């Protein structure tokens, strides 16, 4: 076994595909592999004899399986329907070909550069302007304010990998999570820059993250209420609903959650206004 190998854990019936990203030793000096989920935002460790090498298909096919493809297609359809509905709500827009829409701009700070690339590809497919920066979770809080000042986004995503390290432990104790405290610190720094939760919409968290404390820190949406694994694209699906809903609409929480892969156990949040604006004209050249 070496760094970069694609593996599954035999003790978990090989339910999740991981990539080996490092090695460590336990208190008895037994070697363990540090693992990151390929399609889920979870980090874990396992003894080497519990791992089995698996063949990885195209990584985008792992991310966007039939279930996720359905969610993505649904998002695309809903986005088109939403735009038509918004135009019907404003009669002057129906016949004006010089009108164009401006979804909210996204800044995604991600602890996983491979996940980030695929998320950015999906934002492009959904027609949402987005920039992304890959930063290890432990350093995100140090850089978030400078990135906010540079990009001035409408929506901020702070994500990467996380895990509840001991299910027998106190789930309110942040020391039992790999990165929840790092996400909380980053959210707090972002809120110092922009305290208004409608001016800057924040999604934060990853697999099994401490949802309640991330929300209390100032996030609009977070994971994971049920301490379950969330799909790598769940933050994107939350963002799409907010970014493409009009600024005069409070987006229903249940509609946001219904649009995710993992549902109410994976994602929750607060009432939040949309970020979509109509604009005109497209261009006037003299």
| pLDDT tens-digit readout, 96-145 | 567 778 899 999 999 988 889 889 988 988 889 999 999 999 999 999 99
Helix (H) or strand (E) holding 202: strand 201-204
Whether 177 shows a pLDDT value over 90: the answer reads: yes
| pLDDT tens-digit readout, 40-62 | 767 778 889 988 888 765 555 55
Q: What is the pLDDT of residue 137?
A: 96
Q: What is the pLDDT of residue 20?
A: 85
Provide the 10 A C-beta neighbour count for residue 143. 14
Whether 3 shows a pLDDT value over 70: the answer reads: yes
| pLDDT tens-digit readout, 72-102 | 555 565 665 655 555 555 555 555 567 778 8
Cα distances from 66 to residues 55, 61, 71, in angstroms, run 19, 9, 9
CA 155 – CA 157 distance, rounded (Å): 7
CA 278 – CA 248 distance, rounded (Å): 11
Angle at 205 between CA 8 and CA 147, to 5 degrees: 120
């Amino acid at each position: 076994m070496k760094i970069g190998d694609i593996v599954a854990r035999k003790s978990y019936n090989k339910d999740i595909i991981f990539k080996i990203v490092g090695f460590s030793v336990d208190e008895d000096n037994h070697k363990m592999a540090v693992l990151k989920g390929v399609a889920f935002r979870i980090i874990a460790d396992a003894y080497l004899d519990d791992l089995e090498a698996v063949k990885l298909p195209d990584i985008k096919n792992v991310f966007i399986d039939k279930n996720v493809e359905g969610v993505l297609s649904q998002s695309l359809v809903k986005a088109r329907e939403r735009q038509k509905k918004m135009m019907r709500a404003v009669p002057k827009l129906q016949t004006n070909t010089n009108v164009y829409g401006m979804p909210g701009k996204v800044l995604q700070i991600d602890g996983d550069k491979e996940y980030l690339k695929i998320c950015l590809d999906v934002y492009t497919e959904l027609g949402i302007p987005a920039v992304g920066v890959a930063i290890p979770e432990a350093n995100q809080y140090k850089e978030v304010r400078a990135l906010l000042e540079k990009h001035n986004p409408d929506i901020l995503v702070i994500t990467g990998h996380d895990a509840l390290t001991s299910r027998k432990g106190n789930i309110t104790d942040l020391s039992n999570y790999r990165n929840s405290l790092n996400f909380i610190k980053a959210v707090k720094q972002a809120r110092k820059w922009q305290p208004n939760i409608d001016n800057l919409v924040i999604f934060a968290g990853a697999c099994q993250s401490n949802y309640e404390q991330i929300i209390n820190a100032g996030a609009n949406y977070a994971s994971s209420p049920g301490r379950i694994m969330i799909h790598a694209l769940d933050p994107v699906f939350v963002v799409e609903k907010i970014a493409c809903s009009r600024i005069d609409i409070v987006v229903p929480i249940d509609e946001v959650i219904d649009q995710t892969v993992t549902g109410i156990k994976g994602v929750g949040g607060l009432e939040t206004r949309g970020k979509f604006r109509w604009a005109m004209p497209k261009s006037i050249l003299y």
